Chain A
Amino acid sequence: EDKVVQSPLSLVVHEGDTVTLNCSYEVTNFRSLLWYKQEKKAPTFLFMLTSSGIEKKSGRLSSILDKKELFSILNITATQTGDSAVYLCAVDGKGKLVFGKGMKLTVNP
């Protein structure tokens, strides 16, 4: 059965800290891995990764995929209170997304 596992499941940090979110997966028919941010409403798209070793960056966020070891990490540097949210990792298995349970990040001032 397809599986996506995120760790840790929750994290509390102070503003300015750097955090690393982990996502491992076992999915047949892998097409891509996606990261979303969810703040009590619709998940908002962050990154889509299809190739190993190529880092994607957007401001203070970056992500990379390792297709050999079947995992991805999402880094957030210089965290701000607005980064507080649930971060979802999902793998596209030919159309349908298989999600992890999410990682709840709390950034305290």
Chain B
Amino acid sequence: NAGVMQNPRHLVRRRGQEARLRCSPMKGHSHVYWYRQLPEEGLKFMVYLQKENIIDESGMPKERFSAEFPKEGPSILRIQQVVRGDSAAYFCASSSHLEYDEQFFGPGTRLTVL
């Protein structure tokens, strides 16, 4: 029973490049959440998705960041034209469709922007 999968685990990009982070939820889970953890900071909510729908993107920067969770395949968090301030650990979590179900986290992708 695989948990939440994220890849890559580590990603290095130069300023101006694009970063694509992937997340496969736990089997049977249809809700996906993305969080960002900056050094010495707590986790900050970015976006909440269900299949083919963005439910809440209130934590997502308005520019350069986008997320999707297509009908088939993993959820993707995309960061265009990365800057040094985007360096962080990006965690994905998933939950079932039940209203009070807990979120389970993946191992995270550590993005380093040179």
Q: A interface vs B, CB < 8 Å?
A: 31-32, 34, 36, 41-45, 48, 50, 88, 90, 92, 94-102
Contact = CB atoms under 8 A, between A and B. Distances in A.
Interface stretch (B11-19, B38-46, B61-69, B79-87): B38-46
B43 A88 contact: yes
Interface of B: 4, 31, 33, 35, 41-45, 48, 55-56, 58-59, 91, 93, 99-100, 102-108
A28 to B, nearest CB: 12
B105 A96 contact: no
Contact of A45 (B44, B99, B104, B107): B104
A72 to B, nearest CB: 15
Given A43-B105, A44-B105, A97 B33 contact: yes
Of B43, B48, B59, most A-chain CB atoms within 10 Å: B43
B100 A96 contact: no
B43 A48 contact: no
B76 to A, nearest CB: 19
B102 A95 contact: no
A10 to B, nearest CB: 12
16 contacts: A31-B99, A32-B100, A34-B103, A41-B107, A41-B108, A42-B4, A45-B103, A45-B104, A95-B48, A96-B33, A96-B45, A97-B43, A97-B93, A97-B103, A99-B43, A102-B42
